[in-house]
Structure formats: structure tokens, C-alpha cells
Amino acid sequence: MSIEPITGRYVTVMIEGAPRRIYFEEAGQGRPVICLHTAGADTRQWRHLMNDAEITTSNRLIAFDMPWHGKSLPPEGFETQEYLLTTEAYIETILAVIDGLGLDRPVLAGCSMGGRIALQLAALHPEKFSGFIAIEASDFQPAWYDIDWFHRPDAHGGEMGAALVSANISPYAPASERWNTLWMFMQSGPGVFRGDLSFYTKDDSLIPRLPTIDTAQTPVHIIVGAYDLTCTPEDAERTAKAIPGATLSVMDELGHFPMSEHPEGFRPFFVEALEKMPKRAAEAA
């Protein structure tokens, strides 16, 4: 028997003028690191790093489920709403959770749409953070698929979404973690993956903001997997070049969900990224 050090609790915060009950997990102590999941998934993507004693010795990893995802319920009245995530609502949610948890300038680590919003926050609200780890993150990605495929009455959006995103998982990923990663997409609520993709594939407002990011104040490190078809190494490189002082690491054997699909392969890249971040918020300029 083994009981993991991860603990899960709920915090209620105000978002878009209404209360939202947010599920969050945490492990470790020291420097706070907020971890953002990808589209169509939840905090479980981060469980391997949260169970890594060497990392949590000096890092307090905190991951939360976005509303509509995982154990965070959708807002009251969701049954008549069309879920479409926006940059504004995403930013408001993250800032509300940070305030709700009383965190002082955490490091922000986000993957995919979480990486995209990390770069938006680096441009728009750097004073709230000490640094940014943007994983599988780029300036903008138009859809190479029809997002409406993933929410329709005659087919299972979760199963189709999982089958599509499997294209972004590296063949080096262990089979068990490949399927654990896909399971989260299969479980995603109706229309949620589509609503996340709406944010990811339609909002290009980050592009002109990238050169305004001040990495002397808050470092930005981008990590990308070679098997990522959605955010390719070329996309990440273009994005890093547009941010003065940003750094980039390419992972040859990983894909779009590195912390989830291949935890061992991702670990050294995440450790390297943490080393590039200020040790304490007070050290952030």
C-alpha cells in the first residue's frame, strides 16, 4: 500500500461575477508553482511531477481543474450555455485562483492552451508571477481540424478527441501513460474540448504582445516536443524568437502532453526549467 503525498481540496472564487467551486491539488513546500492542464483534460496530467519527492522538496506544485473540467463543476445554468473559453475568462480564472489561495508571485507552468495563456499573462500581468514555463506553447495555431467534430449528437466527442490527440503523443511514450493521457480526453464533458479549442485556435491576440514581454523581470522558458503536431518545434522556436530573452528546449522523444505521456522523459526538462526560474518570489526583480 502506498498513499501519495498529493492532497486535493476545493476553493470557491468569483469568476465573471459568479461563484465557482474550483478543485485543486498540491504537493510539496517552498516556491509555489501553478500548473495548468491542457485543453480537454485536468490536473491528473501533473500527478507524476507532484509525486516526485526531489521536485517537491523545494517546490509547492499546485494544479487546479478549470471550470467545466475534472472535478470543477461548470457554472450554474451551464445546461443552456455554449462553453467557449476566452482569453479574458481564462486570465480571470487563473488570477482568481492565485488570489483565492493567497499565493505570492508563483511560477506559472502551463501546457498547450495552458502554455499559451502563460505567455498572455507574461505580457499582461507579469507582476503577479515570478516566471513562466510555457510547455508546447506558441503564438497562435489555427485549427487543422474542424472543432465542431468534437461536439455532436451522433458521436462521442471524447472518444473522437482522444483519437485525434493521439497524433500528438510520441511513439516513445510508455503505452500505459499514453492511454492514461487519452483517458482524460475520453472523460471530458460534452463540448468542453471544443470550447477549449475555440480559445486555442481562434484567438491570435498574443502575437503582437510577445515582444512586450520583459524576461528581465520574469523569465520565460519554452519547452516543446518533436512529436507535437499541434505546436511544432518550429512554432515554438518562432514564438521564443519573438520574446526578447526567452529560452527554448526541444525534447526529441516527446509529444504534446510530456508531463503526462512520458513523465520520465519530461522530468529533466522540467527540472531544467525550474532552475531557470527565480528561487523565491522576492528574488524576482
Partner 1 sequence: MNAWETKVINTFKQIQTRLEATPHLQRLGRLFSETVLIEIDGNEYYLTFEKGHIVSVVEGPSRKTPWRFALRTDAEALDKFWQARPEPGFHDIFGLVKIGRGRIDGDILSLVKNLRFFKEVLGLARAKEEVAA
Binding site for partner 1 (CB under 8 A): 144-145, 149, 155, 159-160, 162-164, 166-167, 170-172, 174-175, 178-179, 226-227, 229, 232
DSSP letter at 281 equals G
User: Which is closer to partner 1, CB of 163 or CB of 207?
Assistant: 163
DSSP letter at 182 equals H
DSSP letter at 237 equals H
Burial class (CB in 10 A: 0-12, 13-18, 19+), 84: middle
Please state the closest distance from residue 163 (CB atom) to partner 1, in A.
4
As a dihedral over the C-alpha atoms of residue 133, residue 134, residue 139, residue 141, rounded to 10 degrees, the angle is 180
User: Which is closer to partner 1, CB of 72 or CB of 168?
Assistant: 168
Please state the closest distance from residue 117 (CB atom) to partner 1, in A.
24
Please state the closest distance from residue 178 (CB atom) to partner 1, in A.
6
Three-state SS string over 96-149 comes to HHHHHCCCCCCEEEEECHHHHHHHHHHHHCHHHCCEEEEECCCCCCCCCCCHHH
Q: Reduced to 3 states, what is the DSSP secondary structure of residue 227?
A: coil
Please state the closest distance from residue 59 (CB atom) to partner 1, in A.
30
Backbone phi, psi, residue 126, to 5°: -65, -25
User: Which is closer to partner 1, CB of 38 or CB of 170?
Assistant: 170
* Angstrom distance (rounded) from CA 238 to CA 221: 13
Give the cell for residue 252: 526529441
Please state the closest distance from residue 269 (CB atom) to partner 1, in A.
16
Please state the closest distance from residue 160 (CB atom) to partner 1, in A.
5
User: Which is closer to partner 1, CB of 2 or CB of 176?
Assistant: 176
Q: Reduced to 3 states, what is the DSSP secondary structure of residue 14?
A: strand
User: Which is closer to partner 1, CB of 113 or CB of 254?
Assistant: 254
User: Which is closer to partner 1, CB of 160 or CB of 206?
Assistant: 160
